[in-house]
A and B are shown apart, each in its own frame.
Chain A
């Protein structure tokens, strides 16, 4: 766990400059209406005061930058607002991915019906009892 966790640290000049610049650059390089941008920005800003108060050595700056990566991991572990709905979505997506993979495999199989010509299908049918 990095040292950028929630803290009651008071903002000082360094952290104020950091948070102001973060918003300025984000407005320039990202879509501020994007919910993911807003979410990550919120997480990073919440830990930003503790992470950037005082002199920023390269080690502290690298640690604070890594805090963004941790925020992204946290974003993917966010507890759902509607657990049943989320569980259903995850289950259906997993089922969809499984079916897609299965379809890809079957499509690539030269013995599959779509990859067999009509004459060969007819011959196979006629050579079969049932």
Chain B
């Protein structure tokens, strides 16, 4: 398998739970080294430009405004256009959720004749548990009938995969044959590479990217591959209980995203669970069923014309599954697990700044209240300064009238001030004045 040609814009579309975080972290960590090798990692200053890509696929993160995301996507496209590197890489699993119309505009924006799509795949049996616990931490607003538990969710998505009434994004992301077919239709089979992750060789994914980018093996540092670990059984059950309460109280998705998903859960994931700690287990029946689906998907992908790195057969192999079985019913949460989660929440809440949020973003109720409270506490000690600020704004507002609202004298006064500025200013600097 050879490197992609110079000029390529490598578009890694995930999908979710296929090692995307590891790839993005490695590209981000190695961005300076990559530049010297002629590869630009387009992601702004981040490892994953999530809000930009969500806007490109027609979605909005609850903590971001629609306009804010669109502006970030435009900035990302500009970053790609302005790069003079021999190859540019973009990576986001959210590209895999793009509807056909958005795929067209994404490919056009990045240059249809230069885009090469990379799709990373794992057996869906290895994805199920991880994806469910991710849904649990994404937002509590998933419209479950009765906050389905893991086995209940498995039944709903596996017994009739075409129904898609629960977590519809699951099969949008993980009907891997449809994903490959859709992107092959958009860019042509010669512009699509499928990388099937080798579960027994954790460096294989990174190595595949090094190969595609034409850089020496070992250039990209995979870092701590456990950093984005899945939640354990006690962690996810505690989170699910919090979600139920969150929904009962009618709190917002924006607050959840800010304080729980990107706050407490991140701190929780920094803990290293003991080897004996119970993981979320996938029952045998679900592994068998999803492996049959996987085998069918592998056959379609093999016939798609896309080039394949790795072994497609593992997608349908039941033995590829890990953590198979039935979970115990009596789960208890260790006090240290709860403490870490609570501390993560406190830290995220306390980081709420005093200033109102920028842009057109509407904060959640809790964030808005915390921002205002922080601000009130900050200004209470110096009310005179705030009074001066209000007076200044009042003066500024008084000058900001429409032409219609001004009298003849006001208008002549304004013209005179502008003339004076144009004459006096340059004269003071020893230059020739400019007049209207």
Chain A contacts to B: CB under 8 angstroms: 2, 14-15, 17-22, 24-26, 28-31, 34-37, 40-41, 44, 52, 55-69, 72-73, 75-76, 78, 82, 85-86, 88-90, 92-93, 95-97, 99-100, 102-103, 106-107, 109, 111-114, 116, 118-122, 124-125, 128-130
Given that A21-B340, A89-B386, A121-B415 are known contacts, is A61 also in contact with B403, CB under 8 Å in the complex?
no
Tell yes or no: B275 within 8 A of A by CB.
no
A93: contacting residue among B259, B379, B402, B404, CB under 8 A: B379
A contact residues around B393 at 8 Å (CB):
96, 99-100, 103
Instruction: Count how many chain B residues have C-beta atoms less than 8 Å from C-beta atoms of the other chain.
Output: 74
Is A68's CB under 8 angstroms from B342's CB?
yes
Is A40's CB under 8 angstroms from B331's CB?
no
Given that A52-B338, A93-B386, A95-B390 are known contacts, is A130 also in contact with B415, CB under 8 Å in the complex?
no
Tell yes or no: B337 within 8 A of A by CB.
yes
Q: Tell me the bound Cα distance from A61 to B236 in angstroms.
A: 11
Given that A30-B343, A72-B349 are known contacts, is A63 also in contact with B403, CB under 8 Å in the complex?
no
Q: Can you list 29 A-B contacts with CB-CB less than 8 angstroms, sorted by A residue number?
A: A17-B339, A18-B338, A19-B339, A29-B343, A29-B344, A29-B347, A34-B350, A37-B347, A58-B238, A61-B234, A62-B239, A69-B345, A69-B366, A72-B349, A73-B366, A75-B370, A76-B369, A86-B380, A88-B383, A89-B383, A93-B376, A96-B390, A99-B390, A99-B397, A103-B397, A113-B411, A121-B403, A124-B411, A125-B411
Q: Tell me the bound Cα distance from A71 to B96 in angstroms.
A: 39
Given that A17-B335, A92-B390, A111-B404 are known contacts, is A125 also in contact with B379, CB under 8 Å in the complex?
no
Q: Binary interface profile of B, 401-433, with partner A (CB < 8 Å = 1, else 0)?
A: 111101111011011001100000000000000
A contact residues around B418 at 8 Å (CB):
118, 121
A89: contacting residue among B343, B366, B376, B404, CB under 8 A: B376
B contact residues around A120 at 8 Å (CB):
403
B338: contacting residue among A24, A64, A111, CB under 8 A: A64
Q: Tell me the bound Cα distance from A116 to B436 in angstroms.
A: 13
Is B372's CB under 8 angstroms from A76's CB?
yes
A66: contacting residue among B242, B347, B386, CB under 8 A: B242
A contact residues around B401 at 8 Å (CB):
106, 112-113
Chain B contacts to A: CB under 8 angstroms: 234, 237-246, 249, 251, 259, 264, 267, 331-347, 349-350, 352, 356, 366, 369-370, 372-377, 379-380, 383, 386-387, 389-390, 393-394, 396-397, 399-404, 406-409, 411-412, 414-415, 418-419, 436
Q: Tell me the bound Cα distance from A113 to B241 in angstroms.
A: 57
Given that A93-B372, A113-B400, A121-B415 are known contacts, is A18 also in contact with B339, CB under 8 Å in the complex?
yes
Q: Which of A21, A72, A82, A130 gathers most chain B CB within 10 Å?
A: A72
Q: Tell me the bound Cα distance from A70 to B165 in angstroms.
A: 33
Is A58's CB under 8 angstroms from B342's CB?
no
Q: Tell me the bound Cα distance from A15 to B345 in angstroms.
A: 18
Quick one: closest B residue to A114, CB to CB? B400
B253 to chain A, nearest CB (A): 14
Q: Tell me the bound Cα distance from A59 to B379 in angstroms.
A: 40
Is A73's CB under 8 angstroms from B369's CB?
yes
Quick one: closest B residue to A64, CB to CB? B338
Q: Tell me the bound Cα distance from A41 to B345 in angstroms.
A: 10
A21: contacting residue among B241, B332, B339, CB under 8 A: B339
